[in-house]
Amino acid sequence: MSKFFSFKLYLEGIKKSRLQGITISAIVTALTALIPLVRLLSPTVYYEQGYEPSIEIISPSHFALPMLLLLFLTPILTLSMFSFLNKRNESDFYHSIPFTRPCVYFSFLASVLTWLTVTLAASLALTTVLWCFVPYTAFSVTTPLLLFGTYFLATLLLTGFTALAMTLTGTLISNLLIFALLFGFVRISGALFVVCLENQFPLMITELTPGRLLLPEFNMPLALLLVLFTGDESSAFSNAPLWIYTAVISILLIAAGCFFYTKRRSEMAGKSAPNRILQHIYRCAVALPMTFLIVFYALETDFDSQGIIILTVLTLIVYYLYEILTTKRLKNCLKASLFLPVLLVGGLLFGGGVTIASNVAASYAPDADELKSVSIYRGSSYYYSDRSYQNLKTQAVEITDPKVLEFVADKLAEMKAIVSDKGVDAYQYPNRRHEIAYYEGDVYDEDAFAYADPITLKITEKSGRVCGRTFRLTTADYSRLITLFIETKEYEDAFLSLPAKDEILEYGLPDVYDSDTQEKIWDCFANEYNALTREKKVEYMSSRSYGLTLDVWGTVGVSSFYNGYPLDPNLLPQTCAMAVNAANAEYETGFRDMLATFNTSDVTGVRINLYTVYYYTYVSGFGADYLAALKFAEGCQAPADGNSVLFRLTFEYDVYYFSRYYLLSEADFSSFCIQLGMGQPDGYEKPLEIVE
């Protein structure tokens, strides 16, 4: 008989919890499958008839909400499995059976994990199959595997927390409170500390400090919850340190649970704590985050006395309520009062810690020769929708160019000086004084717009220390920094690179539906792009498009990306020609019929939308009014010659919808727009200027 595991006992554990296990599996599987099922059964709800929808990448978020339910149900399953520890007769029974305590603990724990694994596997398998049948969606085969790994680790962590809480306490209320304490104390305290610190010195990026281990993002279940709000899936699903950390913490929690289970006395069942000392510790630990909140509030509001009094009363209520709820004896409150100074000391340490840490951070200004590398940091605040292939690639590039390091060291020294002399707000909001003047006195100041958007850099020192700072640079400094970055070959390669074909999951081009054709157009695009000069590539990659793009969706590792490459006829003439031919072929017959209809009848309510790479407009009126202009455009179609405009017209009237692509010279395009009644078209947006 093994000292640590019994297969028979494990099977008994499975049987013992089968009602809860099956219920949880059924609920989670059904809810997870519901999303693709609804999409599958009601496609028209999502895809407006007549419009070709864009391809949707099925990412872990598509599974997230119902699967998060599993995280809430995991502690319930564990509580149910080890509920015998809260009842004296049951506790006695399981302590009297001929198995060692570790054997009972691990066998039952394995049963819980089995149900959780079954739930995960069933819900992911069914949902994955269903998503395969939902049109206009694509996903990587690694997505379900990532989801399984991530959620398994999250449930493992929760099981560890719950099991440990149950071995330390003996009533349901104390189980739940100590679980919440173990699960949340470090995170809540860490989050309060970090928020307090970031408010004191908002230019630092705490995610890049070792203290990030204490942040909610470094707690897998919380990280999964945060994905719902931030959309940053990489913070949970592709965060290797978080995976390793979660696995290690889970193992430690489970081992600690085993230790306390073995040491636990059966008579603890029904008692909130094994002894009075631990009862004092538990109670103080429950109330301490409230104390930190008082300090946090005091620092944020410049010691607003009313709020502090309310929070103090709430803290005392929590403190005494814990005692009353867990011991059910009012007179214990007297003894509990003796330990109130612990809260006071905790609050003072918290406040002192924040002040010291923010002062240390504000005075950070290493010399250039102390720096090892710099990279752009996009972090968890970076929106998923903005995640381009270039961003994914460039943020991984560590720039070691001495000119960059010197630039960054100078800017850090400048930051330190401004923060020291004028305060952090003066650095963070350099435009504020101009904005205030502008709105209040109607005074326009050129300097008010001399600053670029904030840029966050990850700075790595030669000592190995890593920190992040958000810089407010002037537009000129910003351009200089980006130019310096691009001068680094590795960065330039990343910035100018196209996704490899095996990284692309789906292609998209308006009005071209055949995937083979789309892929051929992509191949043509890649060949033309790769043949461009460096300057042209930089110009192309720096430009922004508002329509007519060749879209690609894909993944780099576990991070998804989306890129819309502008169909610029002057840089990519062959690609544009292919796109025009392929798209027009789709609606050729319909288009000819439409022209005939405009010619012979009085068609009203026609709307014509015009899309160029950087421009969109529309007109509406009688079909006959547009016939001449359309015939003009049809006659001017010509290959791109370096001075061409590619545009797409869509026609909407009655129940009809057509699309037509044109490649005209700039002069013909202007003439066409005027004939159509759209007026002279707007110019193109200038790409980012490269400062030499």
Among 22, 46, 92, 527, contact with another protein (rule: CB under 8 A): 92
* C-beta closer to another protein: residue 12 or 528: 12
Q: How far apart are CA 571 and CA 538, in angstroms?
A: 12
* C-beta closer to another protein: residue 84 or 615: 84
Tokens of residue 606, six digits = 């026609």
Q: How far is the CB of 276 from another protein (least distance, A)?
A: 8
The total of other beta-carbon atoms located within 10 Å of residue 100's CB is 15
* Contact window for another protein (CB under 8 A) among 25-33, 82-90, 307-315, 362-370: 82-90
* Contact window for another protein (CB under 8 A) among 84-92, 115-123, 399-407, 533-541: 84-92
Q: How far is the CB of 23 from another protein (least distance, A)?
A: 14
Place of tokens 């250039």: 368
Q: How far is CA 307 from each of CA 188, 291, 343, 348, 456, rounded to the nearest angstrom?
A: 20, 13, 18, 18, 34
Among 88, 280, 335, 416, contact with another protein (rule: CB under 8 A): 88
* C-beta closer to another protein: residue 187 or 264: 264
Contact between residue 169 and residue 285 where contact means Cβ atoms under 8 Å apart:
no
Among 56, 90, 370, 503, contact with another protein (rule: CB under 8 A): 90
Largest Cα span, the chain: 97
Stretch 5-44 residues interacting with another protein (CB under 8 A): 8-9, 11-12, 16
Q: How far apart are CA 265 and CA 256, in angstroms?
A: 16
Q: Is the dihedral of CA 504, 505, 511, 513 positive or negative?
A: positive
- Per-residue x/- mask for another protein, residues 256 to 285, rule CB under 8 A? ------x--xxx-------x----------
Q: How far is the CB of 270 from another protein (least distance, A)?
A: 11
Q: How far apart are CA 262 and CA 494, in angstroms?
A: 55
DSSP E strand boundaries for 300-370: none
Q: How far apart are CA 206 and CA 461, in angstroms?
A: 16
Q: How far is the CB of 263 from another protein (least distance, A)?
A: 9
Stretch 654-683 residues interacting with another protein (CB under 8 A): none
User: What does 139-177 look like in DSSP terms, one character per residue?
Assistant: --THHHHHHHHHHHHHHHHHHHHHHHHHHH--SHHHHHH
- Per-residue x/- mask for another protein, residues 417 to 446, rule CB under 8 A? ------------------------------
Q: How far is the CB of 279 from another protein (least distance, A)?
A: 12
Q: Is the dihedral of CA 167, 168, 171, 172 positive or negative?
A: negative
* Contact window for another protein (CB under 8 A) among 31-39, 81-89, 500-508, 651-659: 81-89
- Residues binding another protein: what is the number (CB under 8 A)? 25
Nearest to 541 by CA among 378, 687, 686, 395: 687
Q: How far is the CB of 19 from another protein (least distance, A)?
A: 8
Q: How far apart are CA 495 and CA 491, in angstroms?
A: 6
* Contact window for another protein (CB under 8 A) among 85-93, 217-225, 299-307, 491-499: 85-93
Stretch 93-132 residues interacting with another protein (CB under 8 A): 93, 95-101, 103
Place of tokens 């399984």: 148
Q: Which residues bind another protein (CB under 8 A)?
A: 1, 8-9, 11-12, 16, 84, 88-90, 92-93, 95-101, 103, 262, 265-267, 275
